[in-house]
Structure 1
């Protein structure tokens, strides 16, 4: 009976212990489920098999969404999960592994994961993971890193800015007298890297007037502590070479609690170049404004950026009327294509010199102008604009026209009687030839040759006049070169030449050209060969077929032409600068006329010459087969 009683008491105790253990398990389950620390179990295959509410809340999932999903899908970096598994398999646990878990809404939580492995019967069954949310700490740390990086970048930008401006710094303790000047500041003032600095010796190197100005300003600051900022340009004699430089001091004066000046901190910048450039700009601006020539600045698109006083006088538009407007405002309708041509050349860096054209004023009057146009470049050589200088040459053009009209009139007046004289000389030659008067025939031939020379000279002047008026007309025809060359050579010999003039290769050469104009070309070239070979010698005219063209060359053994003179040889009124040619007559129009006549024949005159060795002039004409 006692044994039964003891058994019942023991069963009752066991029931009570079981109830107590059940309550503790329930309490423990509740504690784990509702613990503030996120917890989860993950199977060996990587599937989530359990998670507490803190874990679900941290990632924003319901239990149904989270349990059964793959843990790898929740890692922002899948490689991190692979590393965790590798550590668990090798070590059995991981401590505070930094990882990033992706929430349901796509945002990321930065966490520390601590995990260990549950082994049953020697097999990897699952892992127990404790997750610590460190997102706030991580963000603060990231912000701190970003701020440090920005600070470093700011410091570097400041250093680069200071270096690029060659700016130094100065820190003067006014109570102890100690002064610190940065390395760049020392360079500005001409101090060596370790040279001892004394304030008084530096102040003594200031220009006397500027030193007094500085002392007055500093005294003003001391008497009025509210105005503590100083910005002043001073002339300073550098320590190392005593050169005078403009230095800008920009800084702040600090005061002690007793209102005494205690410290002066300033930047030091050499502004000599800027100061001189500003003065130079002022001088240039004054020159531009006082110039008698119109000086206009414009963009590469042709919009006016500057317009000086002379431009106002010349074109009638005020500066405020033209700045910002297109330059086409002053270009006549029939000349607007010129602007495209000019701009295309300037964009490649070329300049345009002495370009003669017409412009229209505000009143509608057409004026003649000579333009000099240049590209405006920045410090790196990039073209950023255009400078145009315009000179009014209307009166000059009118004067040239009056001169041309006079030359034309006189030439006509001379040509008419000379043509009659030539005709009578030719009749006289026939008569004398019939009467076998050899001496008279020679004299009449001379009269005939000289008459032709004058008529050719008059013809040259008339041709130039027509060229300038744009009225030179060509009467092209097919003709044989041989007879024309023979005529020109015969006339040259009749003028008393002591040269031997021959021609070769000119038989059966038929060209398409203006016979009279080509006659002028040959007369001038052979005449020049005679004139510029004062000692005599051979003059050879050679014809040569080159493809579909005939090449005509005139070779002499004269004084030759320098390379410098060859560059300007075909300019109007140009004479070679040669002591040997000083006494040779001429007006410098023959070669200019030759070049223009040939240009109208789609050809050009070429020269090959050396001083003391003679010259070869050549040109080409279209052949007729």
Structure 2
């Protein structure tokens, strides 16, 4: 008693122990004593607050054992343990949990936590509503059959409108130890409604480096996606509307040029040449915008033909070399053909080379390297120009993304060429990436499967 509550044995507080209980716990000592007296030989454990000699209340864990019938003992044995610190930690944990749940239930994202057996550990209200339940509590209270039936109502599609296999979903990939994300369309087949969500899943590992939990975050981007779709529709319509007038302008420019060439009007021919260059530039921009619309709609078609990459690269370099003072050097060779769309792959090479020339105005050389392994062919285009800051590199292949800084304000462009090139390579089953340092230049590379 002295060690636990500070009272000396001679103070005989035990005889008035019930009076030391916290006012809210006064009935507990009475009930536990009655239970102990009724059940000889059986241990009773309870917890309540008792007044310390210094006036503060301490939480005690009290183990009571009735040995009144035990020869040589004939007493009730009380064992006291101070659990004040544990109770304080429990209160802090409960408070933190309550605060965390309040935060998670008020964020705009849906949050789901599952264990390694794919059993639900936590879900917030937002995620429950995404699945058609009024709240997380209603979802957790629903029988398993109702939950499964509700889930089967939803069809899952990827950004290109293709059914998303279960093994490609971020939650499954996270259960395999991989951090993953995907843009997904959930379609409620019963209600006929759908919503777009950005799914992100993160594995949490235990001390043995095994996946213990999977945390999935769902961000509803339906409104943003619908806005993008309206924008894409407008771009597509505008591009189609511009295509015919540009073709007519180009034809009449060529006709005027031939007319004035016959009259040897060099002054007019010079102006017509400049006009033709701008029409060509605008025509290419319209073609790029149409490509983007097709890609977003999943309607771009790729030919499947044997493509001699050495011949294609040589052709692109020969066509581009007369238009620039940079030396376009090629090192390495493929020595084989791959299966793909020759025109589209030529478009990728042309884009990377023209970018390399544009963003290295003070350099004299652009280097193209070709390398191969048994499974892949890799092409790299290196310039020695202004380079790109690390913070921009992850976003370079996004649609309409432009790096704005004092250094590149004079460089024209809409940020669509790299997006198109990246999409073409991805649709060939390959990948594209960049290595760059500011002031030292950039290397854009892509790899394609040998097939």
Normalised TM-score (structure 1): 0.53
**Paired position in structure 2 for 1:573:** 400
Residues 429 and 553 of structure 1: CA distance in aligned 2, closer, same or farther (over 3 Å):
farther
Structure 2 unaligned regions, length at least 5 = 14-18, 37-44, 66-76, 158-162
Shift in Å, 1:232: 3.3
Partner residue of 1:313 out of 107, 119, 129: 129
- 1:176-195 counterparts in 2 under 5 A? 176-177=10-11
Q: CA separation of 1:266/1:382 partners in 2, compared to 1, >3 Å: closer, same or farther?
A: farther
CA gap of 1:252–1:344, structure 2 versus 1, over 3 A, is closer
SS at match of 1:537: coil
CA contact (8 A) 1:562 1:611 kept: yes
Aligned counterpart in structure 2 of residue 370 of structure 1, from 189, 193, 198: 198
- CA 1:623–1:560: 2 relative to 1, 3 Å: same
What residue in structure 2 maps to residue 529 of structure 1?
Answer: 356
Question: Which structure is larger by alpha-carbon Rg, 1 or 2?
Answer: 1
Shift of 1:435: 4.5
Q: How far off its partner does 1:390 sit?
A: 2.4
- In structure 1, which of residues 259, 267, 283 is the aligned counterpart of residue 81 of structure 2? 267
CA distance in 1, matches of 2:281, 2:80: 86
Q: Pick the aligned partner of 2:292 from 446, 457, 464.
A: 464
**Residue 235 of structure 2: aligned partner:** 407
Match of 1:70 in 2: none
Equivalent residue for 1:601? 428
Structure 2 partner of 1:76: none
**1:424-463 residue pairs with structure 2 within 5 A?**
424-463=252-291
Q: Could you tell me which residue of structure 2 aligns to residue 501 of structure 1? A: 326
- In 1, Cα distance between equivalents of 2:295 and 2:237: 16
Matches within 5 A, 1:583-598: 583-598=410-425
Q: CA deviation at 1:514?
A: 3.3
Indicate the SS of the match to 1:345.
helix
Determine the C-alpha separation between the residues in 2 that align with 1:246 and 1:349.
48
Q: How many angstroms apart in 2 are the aligned matches of 1:173 and 1:436?
A: 119
Check the 8 A contact 2:183/2:196 in 1, yes or no: no
1:267 deviates by: 0.7
Measured against aligned partners, the alpha-carbon deviations of 1:480-504 in whole angstroms (never above 9, x if no partner) come to: 53444444455xx4xxxxx613435
> Is 1:538 equivalent to 2:364 in the alignment?
yes
Aligned equivalents of 2:232 and 2:51: distance in 1? Answer: 62
Classify the secondary structure of the residue corresponding to 1:350.
coil
- In the other structure, the counterpart of 1:610 is 437
Displacement after TM superposition at 1:300 (Å):
3.9
Of the candidates 238, 249, 252, which is equivalent to residue 60 of structure 2?
Answer: 249
Secondary structure of the residue that 2:386 maps to in structure 1?
A: coil
| SS, match of residue 176 in structure 1 | helix
Identify which range, 480-489 or 610-619, moves more after superposition.
Answer: 480-489
Maintained 8 Å contact 2:109/2:126 = yes
The alpha-carbon distance between structure 1 residues 427 and 541, as it changes in their structure 2 partners (threshold 3 A), is: farther
Cα RMSD over matched residues? 4.6
Normalising by the residue count of structure 2, what TM-score does the alignment of the two structures yield? 0.70
User: Equivalent residue for 2:112?
Assistant: 296
Give the CA deviation at 1:408: 0.2
Deviation string 1:18-64 (CA, Å, 9 cap, x unpaired) is xxxxxxxxxxxxxxxxxxxxxxxxxxxxxxxxxxxxxxxxxxxxxxx
In structure 1, the partner of 2:102 is 286
Gaps of at least 5 residues in structure 1 are 1-167, 180-211, 239-244, 255-262, 494-498
Between the aligned partners of 1:435 and 1:387, the Cα distance in structure 2 is 75
